[in-house]
Structure 1
Amino acid sequence: MKKIVAYLFITLFAGMLFTSCDGNQKKTETAKNLSDNTLLDTIQYQTFQYFWEGAEPVSGMARERIHLDGIYPQNDQDVVTLGGSGFGVMAILVGIERGFITREQGVERFRKIVDFLAAADRFHGAWPHWLDGPTGKVKPFSRKDDGGDLVETAFMIQGLLTVAGYFENGNEAEQQLVADIDKLWREVEWNWYTKGGEEVLYWHWSPNYGWEMNFPVGGYNECLIMYILAAASPTYPIEPSVYHKGWARDGEIANDTVYYGLNTVLDFYEHSDDPTGPLFWAHYSYLGLNPKGLSDQYADYWMLNRNHALIHYKYALDNPKGFEGYGEKQWGLTSSYSTNGYAGHHPGDADLGVISPTAALSSFPYTPTESMQFLRYLYTEADSLVGKYGPYDAYSNTSKWYLPRYLAIDQGPIPVMIENYRSGLLWNLFMQNEDVKRGLEQLGFQF
């Protein structure tokens, strides 16, 4: 009953705050009086709705983008995203746990998604970056990127294994869902993506272009979860040397530096001229993988991610480029829409004066005080930047720019990481998986 009452309050408040009407002052005053918990409930509800109400109806999967202004590139409203949908299935679990939907509604949606994935195009067990929602056929992400995408597949498997953990002791229908997820997990040929036995994992393979994308994944970025799942596979595992020589680059990944008085812990230079990267690196692999107490010979992953978020916060306080609005209430840079298309924002040369709300909001576990300051700013001082699916993807005060548009990969981490901050739900479910535990042990992790 408490969940139902909370749900009714959140839907009433969200509708009142974000319908198009007069009375902005009244809405702002209402928001200012809300408790932290109610604000967290509200943003979780709104971002969850991207994956619930906003889903592509045939597949149940997350649309790559939703533009409330109705303007889409290449007429791609039916394109669904693998990684964003992996985040989305975890967001749906948040919806069940918070009472936004019933358990039965959640199972029905998961059934649709799992059946779609079982019938969709796959390439040695890996799905492509994009699929056509109505048909399940590959939608090329770029000319040569028309086959398996192992990173996006890892994000989907991370989500599915978390769903399986939630329902593993459920009724007959739920048990069947778990069994079907296990089948999808076992069919991913992780070791095949070593390109014939090289000691590194490759991101892409195409039936038309083979390995021409030529993207071996090594050095720190968002892809840690791919290596852990590849080691954890009960059917097609990689050898530990693939992790240590490929991902960790024979230990070079542990080259530390100091930025804004904080250790970066790992080497971000491989990807950037600046000592740190976009904040999604601290989110995507850690929606299920719990960084608290997680370490290996290269890093303390809680320190890594907390310092990464704090560096972004301190950078905004310093504001070396003098962008309007940067400070304790407005901070956080990551890859998102930008003033000219899409850009990988992060401190240093890649800072274009564009703040991406997912950066600070998905960092709640690492920076709860600083993230709450940003959340309150959005809902009490800048509600024009918030729509039906939560904060819009990005904005720039300096350029007087924002668009009422969303991306699945940016909305998805928000409700999930906030829930991990509040209850640890997704972390607990993923980390209890026996295959995952074995994979972590194989690679020498303490957890």
Structure 2
Amino acid sequence: MIDSMKVLSMILAGFVVGYAVSDIRPFDSLLSSTAEFGSPTTIVNGLAVLALTACLVSVALARSSARGVLVVAIGAVLVVVFRTVGMVTGMFGDWACAVGAGALLGASAVLAGRHRAAQASLAVAAIGAGLLGTALDALLQADDGPVFVWDVVGAEDAVVPERAIVMVIAALGTALSLYQAHRDVALQSHETRRTRLIGLPLPIAAGVVSWFAAGHDSGDAVWLGALAGMAVLAVVAAFAFPGRDGRVLLVLFASATIGSMGFAVEDSLQLAVSVALLVVGAGIGYRWPQLYVGLGGLLVVAGASLIEGYIALPSLSQFALPFVVAYALVSVLSTAPGSLAVALPALFTMTLPVVVYSASYQPGLSSDVSVATRTSEPDHLVLSLAGLVVVAVVTVACAVLMRRPTQNPAAR
């Protein structure tokens, strides 16, 4: 019963984190509301703040009692909810959402410990909600769907009623389940020094590389150079993790590279299929974990994407992606709590813009019109081949990491 509640609490906590992630635009700066591509302040965006907070919170709570971690987790849930329902607005609200989601992720990772099922539930729920959250919003806001009434006071508020209701329900369940599952649990401390050394510079460095790829008009060469730089960051960070923990980061980075266009979701059926594939992939990965099978699946997806660029086929690779990502990720769990808190945001922070547009005003027209001009657009062949190369590099790196001894025996 306790294990079931622990898993449920991690599913709900992961959903809240991921749903908050889906509301944070990757390139919207939290330092300046007018930041544009090419501005150094764009590096410090909401996702980077979330990743930094998750690292710091997991380190700060590494040796805390379960009740102390619960206070932080439930407080973080409330902060995210307050922002979602419009009680915290403007730039301060954006910061609050990023910090709250990061704190919830860090605290949840500590509560999950090395319990493999709990870690898998947290990771898959966060990834699923992060990538599918906007699709869920669109489904709830459909013209033929339910209509909610929500009174909002203040011109700065931009509350989506459906999202607010979903978040309130999820947050209530998260708080109750976290308390019931972890109030009497004895937590094990974990290493913090390496967590800080990796988790603090990684999202900032990834932001610099991403900004470099987005802010230049040099074609494929700059984009490929940025991807190579991102791959170097991922490999170096993976080998800095203790034992084999770096495999989680590598799998997520490979998934982010070949899945940069997101899961295939256009209607309610595709949304349901994507969620089902995530769950099934995670379940099989939990029962029969095989890292190389998961990496092989990522190679197949990247190869299928390459073929689809020249043959009129359905987007098979996009439908297979959630299954393969969930399987590969769960296959490399469990890991140290701090390592999980640092690695999970990488799926969102270690991505590169595929198509970047810059808006410029043309005052010579009858009225000021914003005209979008292309600054970078790697073609399909470049993207697909780059994905294959990245997965191959990740596979080699994982093979080397497999030679390392494990730090601690994995829990269930």
TM-score category of the 2 structures, normalised to the smaller one: under 0.3
Report the TM-score when normalising by structure 1: 0.25
Report the TM-score when normalising by structure 2: 0.26
Of the two structures, which has the highest relative contact order with CA contacts closer than 8 Å and spacing of 6 or more?
Answer: 2
Richer in helix (by share): 2
